Amino acid sequence: MSVLLRAVAGPPSAAARAVIPCLWRGKYFSSGKEPAEGSPVTPVLRHLIYKIKSTGPITVAEYMKEVLTNPAKGYYVYHDMLGEQGDFITSPEISQVFGELLGIWFISEWMATGKSAAFQLVELGPGRGTLMGDILRVFSQLGSVLKNCDISIHLVEVSQKLSEIQALTLTEQKVSLERNAGYPVKGVTKSGIPISWYRDLQDVPKGNSFYLAHEFFDVLPVHKFQKTPQGWREVLIDIDPQVSDKLRFVLAPCATPAEAFIQLDETRDHVEVCPDAGVIIQELSQRIALTGGGALIADYGHDGTKTDTLRGFCGHKLHDVLIAPGTADLTADVDFSYLRRMAQGKVASLGPVKQQMFLKNMGIDVRLKVLLDKSDKQSREQLLQQYDMLMNPKKMGERFNFFALLPHQRLHGKSQTNACQSKPSPSPVAGFGELAWR
């Protein structure tokens, strides 16, 4: 393992990611109870008020969808919300080591599943492209391992602004990502790998692929439900009759269709369900079962235990989810038990395991030592701070989780081509067990 981690000889880039704001999105549970500063009437609010006046209260899922991804005014569409100047920070934006270890995970799985002649690396919601940049640096440094493999990169991104930043980060030429440009948009990465952009996973070619989703599932729209003496009632969003241009939560007077997503034996009295996450997991599972590869999903979340997790972030502060929609991020914890159910047994699932354990199993301590040995005093301090942010159980170490979908053959030692031919002992899946380099 340490041979591999030392082979990743990239220079420390601590300075570029030096400032760590104190708030990350996984930090709090609560919604709509924080004091809001002012309540400006944003274009999204105007649009939603018009909509509610015309057709009645909307679901929380519809609200999230409009606020985050409305093509004309959505928060994600024209914002760069990541990093110190933005609204929240993510692990790849904190430390280069995070992406490097994920790069090693993909290579390790590619090797464990028989070193296919080609694979697509598909990222859902790639943000600024920082994570993919760190992964591709590892691919270049381990070029001798991957030299006969035909790799292509596929980014699924709804935001025009972030797509442009990804193109700047990952390619040398200017790629046109205008909303009306024909999709997929194609380019070439700095290391010469073909790269394409899509708006939807469905448009990504089906082929042997590894999928990555880091802090992606938490922004997908959730429906919220409350248990009442009359049964489940959906939480809706309506106009506050007391205050003009203000929204409020109300309960639906009768059953609504999304109730079908609640488990019959559900014991909580408040649940959030995310049908879009289910659709994506089903698509990933079908693809992986058919063509091999795997998916690595990392996010904050729970295993079917939490209740009210919807919250907003603006400028590294918690933000009332109903105030100034379109100016703040909205997010809800990922229910990994739901993701596991939605895989419907087509593929094997692993995790969720805590980020701290996953990164430890991937050899973060060895990698940190390599970087510390190469750094001056100031960079060393930054590297240690970054490590603490990723690993400390009170920071991101225990709030973030890793979850994987892999073909059944990968875990049960059967050959991909001949299900009857047993392999002696499949290597453990890195991260979920210790990284073993064969």
Contacting range for ligand SAH; rule: CB under 6 A; set: 120-128, 172-180, 250-258, 286-294: 120-128
Cα angle 324, 88, 172 (rounded to 5 degrees) comes to: 110
The helix-helix angle for 130-141 and 96-112 (nearest 10°) equals 60
Asked if 82 touches ligand SAH (CB under 6 A), the answer is: yes
Compute how many other C-beta atoms are within 10 angstroms of the C-beta atom of residue 230.
10
Q: Which is nearer to ligand SAH, 214 or 410 (CB)?
A: 214
Closest to 204 (Cα-Cα) out of 293, 300, 109, 92 = 293
Quote the distance between the C-alpha of residue 355 and its chain's center: 13
Q: Which is nearer to ligand SAH, 162 or 235 (CB)?
A: 162
Contacting range for ligand SAH; rule: CB under 6 A; set: 14-22, 86-94, 177-185, 332-340: 86-94
Of 24, 76, 336, 403, the residue at the interface with ligand SAH (CB under 6 A) is 76
Fill in the amino acid letter for 321: V
Asked if 87 touches ligand SAH (CB under 6 A), the answer is: no
Which run of H or of E encompasses 285? helix 275-291
Note whether 162 and 173 are within 8 A (CB): no
Count of residues in the chain:
438
Q: Which is nearer to ligand SAH, 292 or 294 (CB)?
A: 294
Instruction: State which of positions 16-75 bind ligand SAH (CB under 6 A).
Output: 68-69
CB of 234 to ligand SAH, least distance (A): 21
Asked if 312 touches ligand SAH (CB under 6 A), the answer is: no
Note whether 204 and 154 are within 8 A (CB): yes
Asked if 162 touches ligand SAH (CB under 6 A), the answer is: yes
Note whether 210 and 119 are within 8 A (CB): yes
* Rounded-to-integer distance, Cα 309 and Cα 222, Å: 10
CB of 353 to ligand SAH, least distance (A): 18
Contacting range for ligand SAH; rule: CB under 6 A; set: 46-54, 152-160, 173-181, 350-358: 152-160
Contacting range for ligand SAH; rule: CB under 6 A; set: 39-47, 90-98, 246-254, 388-396: 90-98
Instruction: State which of positions 198-217 bind ligand SAH (CB under 6 A).
Output: 214-216
**CB-based burial of residue 187 (10 Å sphere; 0-12 exposed, 13-18 middle, 19+ buried)?**
buried
Instruction: State which of positions 378-407 bind ligand SAH (CB under 6 A).
Output: none
Asked if 164 touches ligand SAH (CB under 6 A), the answer is: no
Contacting range for ligand SAH; rule: CB under 6 A; set: 155-163, 244-252, 358-366, 404-412: 155-163
CB of 331 to ligand SAH, least distance (A): 9
Q: Which is nearer to ligand SAH, 164 or 215 (CB)?
A: 215
Asked if 90 touches ligand SAH (CB under 6 A), the answer is: yes
CB of 300 to ligand SAH, least distance (A): 11
Of 99, 127, 187, 325, the residue at the interface with ligand SAH (CB under 6 A) is 127
Contacting range for ligand SAH; rule: CB under 6 A; set: 121-129, 135-143, 261-269, 313-321: 121-129
Q: Give the contacts of 56 (CB within 8 A, at least 6 positions apart).
A: 238
Q: Which is nearer to ligand SAH, 124 or 347 (CB)?
A: 124
Q: Residue 80 is encoded by which pair of tokens?
A: 């760069």
* Rounded-to-integer distance, Cα 63 and Cα 335, Å: 20
CB of 368 to ligand SAH, least distance (A): 20
Evaluate the CA torsion angle 336, 337, 342, 345 in order and state its sign. positive
Angstrom CA distances, 265 to 62, 262, 286, stand at 26, 9, 27
Residue with the CB atom nearest ligand SAH in the bound state: 125
CB-side neighbour CA atoms (13 Å) of 50: 8
Backbone φ, ψ for residue 194 (5° rounding): -60, 140
Asked if 157 touches ligand SAH (CB under 6 A), the answer is: yes
Closest to 10 (Cα-Cα) out of 359, 249, 367, 261 = 367
- Residues forming contacts to ligand SAH in the complex (CB under 6 A) are 68-69, 76, 82, 90, 92-93, 125-127, 131, 156-159, 162, 214-216, 219
